[in-house]
């Protein structure tokens, strides 16, 4: 037993309980240790899955493996125009990169270009907005569906509607007055 413990400490025997690292095309499985992740190229997919590569990898290799995707720096959600990497660049170990669909990139670029420019009302003229005037520099998935302004307006309207009592409208018949027929009761005598 002591021999087995010493062997485990010095790496003489392999522990059968721990699965070996699976290497496939130069990438590790996610189960590798945190220490080895620091010295690998980390490519994070849109769903959260990570690919780890031991050696530097070119962007073109990643794009061939995942068509319709682009490789970008983590700042892609803050500055999508400058975060995209060209296909000739190398991904270096110790850094994290994102693999983003091209459609998402187009949406991000469109959103950030509309944030930076305001229309002044005349065709062809735009005015750039300083970065401190834009309310949020971080983009999240929630921003794709409902903006904060629309959401707050909706909440205000909903709150106002819930506080008001329903208005009872009087039913009028062809614009007439509120006349109601009334009959007096008569007692009949029997012969």
- Residue 27 and residue 36: Cα distance in Å, rounded? 12
Q: What angle do CA 6, 10, 11 make, to 5 degrees?
A: 110
Q: Tell me how far CA of residue 174 lies from CA of 171, 177, 178, in angstroms.
A: 9, 9, 11
- Residue 104 and residue 63: Cα distance in Å, rounded? 15
The confidence score (pLDDT) of residue 1 equals 44
The confidence score (pLDDT) of residue 188 equals 85
Interval 104-134: pLDDT, tens = 888 888 887 776 664 444 455 544 444 444 4
Which tokens sit at 121?
């009302």
Residue 103: partners with Cβ closer than 8 Å, 6 or more residues away: none
Kindly indicate the confidence band of residue 48, based on its pLDDT and cuts at 50, 70 and 90: confident
DSSP string over the chain: -HHHHHHHHHTSS--TTSPPPP-BTTEE-TTS-HHHHTTSEEEE-TTS-EEEESS-EEHHHHHHHSTTEEEE-GGGGT-TTT-BPPTT-EEPTT-EEEEEEHHHHHHHHHHHHHHHEEE-SSTT-EEEPPGGGSS-----GGGGT--HHHHHHHHHHHHHHHHSPPPPPPP-STT-----------PPPP-
Interval 70-79: pLDDT, tens = 898 888 888 8
The confidence score (pLDDT) of residue 143 equals 47
The confidence score (pLDDT) of residue 109 equals 83
């Amino acid at each position: 037993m002591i021999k087995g413990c010493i062997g485990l400490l010095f790496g003489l025997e392999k522990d059968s309980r721990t699965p070996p690292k699976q290497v496939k095309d130069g990438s590790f499985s996610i189960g590798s240790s945190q220490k080895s992740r620091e010295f690998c190229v980390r490519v994070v997919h849109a769903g959260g899955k990570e690919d780890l590569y031991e050696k530097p990898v070119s962007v073109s290799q990643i794009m061939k493996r995942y068509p319709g995707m682009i490789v970008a720096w983590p700042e892609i959600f803050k500055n999508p125009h400058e975060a995209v990497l060209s296909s000739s660049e190398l991904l270096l170990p110790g850094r994290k990169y994102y693999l983003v669909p091209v459609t998402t990139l187009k949406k991000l670029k469109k959103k950030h270009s509309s944030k930076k420019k305001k229309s002044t009302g005349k065709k062809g003229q735009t005015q750039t907005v300083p970065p401190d005037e834009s309310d949020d520099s971080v983009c999240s998935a929630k921003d794709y569906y409902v903006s904060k302004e629309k959401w707050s307006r909706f909440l205000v309207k909903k709150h106002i509607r819930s506080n008001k009592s329903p208005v009872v409208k009087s039913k009028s018949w062809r614009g007439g007055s509120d006349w109601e027929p009334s009959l007096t009761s008569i007692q009949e005598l029997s012969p």
